[in-house]
Chains A and B, each alone.
Chain A
Amino acid sequence: SAVISQKPSRDICQRGTSLTIQCQVDSQVTMMFWYRQQPGQSLTLIATANQGSEATYESGFVIDKFPISRPNLTFSTLTVSNMSPEDSSIYLCSVGGDTEAFFGQGTRLTVV
């Protein structure tokens, strides 16, 4: 199994600002995944982050809005840029095990 730590656990931000979310894993992993869970909704994959290459974004998500860094095999960041109230969500980091995915506790973001 993998233990994933996310920071911050929650934040309230002003519209137009940016927030960077950190994800730390207790073991080296090739791929890390970022998901968004909008209020009352399911989880949607934002992007896949490989170390040493640019992240791969899913349809509807763009790098300018959600830049991702992956400087090493245990760490990644997701930035939510130029925030609007519609960005209020829980953002989750995930890594893969042999047969299942593991998730961080999530970052609960509220944009006011």
Chain B
Amino acid sequence: GNSVTQMEGPVTLSEEAFLTINCTYTATGYPSLFWYVQYPGEGLQLLLKATKADDKGSNKGFEATYRKETTSFHLEKGSVQVSDSAVYFCALNLGAGGYQKVTFGTGTKLQVIP
């Protein structure tokens, strides 16, 4: 079956530090890959996505590259801010069109301290 394994948290960083959250996946076929973010007390938001191998998704200073050879989609940010404190979920989907049945990783809680 399909699965997503991501780095366990919590991760605590100082402001302006470099962030990496590792994510690897197992899937039959060619999935689209996503990072979702959940800020405290809020709903789930799409942070970035990549739909095919070697694609790089980016948003708000975050980046992740779809690496088919290593089945990975690691999330990076060069300089984190306190406002980035949230839970980050790596996810995959093999659907197309309206069929978006998502498999999530366990989530990584990030705390950024001033």
In which size bucket is the chain B interface?
20 to 34
Produce 1/0 per residue, A14-32, CB < 8 A to B: 0000000000000001110
Is B43 a contact partner of A96 (Cβ separation < 8 A)? no
A43 touching B44, Cβ below 8 Å: yes
Contacts of B43 in A (CB 8 A): 92, 103-106
Chain A to chain B contacts (Cβ below 8 Å), 25 pairs: A30-B98, A31-B98, A42-B89, A42-B106, A43-B89, A43-B102, A43-B104, A44-B104, A92-B44, A94-B102, A96-B95, A96-B98, A96-B100, A96-B101, A97-B98, A97-B100, A100-B32, A100-B93, A101-B100, A101-B102, A103-B36, A103-B43, A103-B44, A105-B43, A106-B44
From known contacts A42-B106, A43-B104, A106-B43, infer whether A100 and B34 are also in contact, taking CB-CB under 8 Å. yes
A95→B98 contact, CB < 8 A: yes
Q: Is the CB of A42 within 8 A of B105?
A: yes
Let me know if A41 is at the binding interface, CB within 8 A: yes
Question: Which of chain A's residues 45-102 have a Cβ closer than 8 Å to chain B?
Answer: 45, 48, 92, 94-102
- Look across to chain A and name the residue whose beta carbon is closest to the beta carbon of B93: A101
Nearest A-chain residue to B107, judged by Cβ: A42
Using known A-B contacts A31-B99, A33-B100, A42-B107, determine if residue A99 contacts B32 with beta carbons closer than 8 Å.
Answer: yes
B36-59 interface (Cβ within 8 A of A)? 36, 42-46, 49, 51
Q: B49 — which chain A residues lie within 8 A by C-beta?
A: 99-100
Q: Is the CB of B100 within 8 A of A95?
A: yes
B97 at the A/B interface (Cβ < 8 Å)? Answer: yes
In the bound complex, how far is the Cα of B105 from the Cα of A94, in angstroms? 17
Q: Report the separation of the CA atoms of residues A94 and B46 in the bound assembly, to the nearest whole angstrom.
A: 12
Closest CB-CB distance, B55 to chain A, in whole Å? 11
